[in-house]
């Protein structure tokens, strides 16, 4: 039995390494940084052609960074961000955003939500 295990292990370690599919560098991910200056905690969504996709929550007076799924950039031309304050019926929808792979989006949510700003780098 021990001989069979030793033979199996030596067969598995023959020095051959298959080509790795991740050998070329991955393109930079598209990230969204949300800084919440609002008094309310916010649920943050991507709105893709009218359909919401939740990114996560940003607590009041805090900052979070979210990764944009790659398929979003490949399939949609109309992307918005939506801030949904927890415990409130009022939401805030950003203007349309044109994002490309590797870009960084910075969204500043202000206490007066209409004064919020968005920047794409």
pLDDT of residue 54: 97
Query: pLDDT tens, 46-105?
Result: 999 889 999 999 999 999 999 998 888 887 667 999 999 999 999 999 999 988 888 999
pTM value > 0.85: no
**pLDDT at 9 exceeding the cut of 80:** no
Specify burial of residue 35 (Cβ count, 10 A radius: 0-12, 13-18, 19+). Answer: middle
24 versus 86: the higher-pLDDT residue is 86
pLDDT tier at 5 (50, 70, 90 boundaries)? very low
For the segment 4-23, the average pLDDT, to the nearest whole number, is 50
What's residue 72's pLDDT? Answer: 86
What CATH number was assigned to the domain covering residues 28-120? 2.60.40.2890
Q: Which residues neighbour 114 within 8 Å (Cβ) at sequence distance 6 or greater?
A: 92
């Amino acid at each position: 039995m021990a001989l069979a295990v030793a033979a199996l292990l030596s067969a598995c370690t023959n020095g051959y390494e298959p080509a790795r599919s991740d050998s070329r560098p991955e393109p930079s991910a598209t990230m969204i940084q949300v800084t919440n200056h609002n008094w309310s905690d916010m649920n943050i969504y991507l709105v893709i052609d009218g359909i919401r996709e939740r990114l996560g929550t940003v607590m009041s007076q805090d900052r979070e960074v979210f990764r944009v799924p790659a398929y979003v950039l490949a399939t949609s031309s109309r992307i918005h961000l939506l801030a949904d304050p927890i415990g409130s019926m009022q939401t805030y929808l950003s203007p349309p955003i044109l994002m490309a792979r590797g870009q960084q989006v910075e969204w500043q949510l202000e206490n007066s939500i209409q004064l919020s700003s968005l920047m794409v780098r």
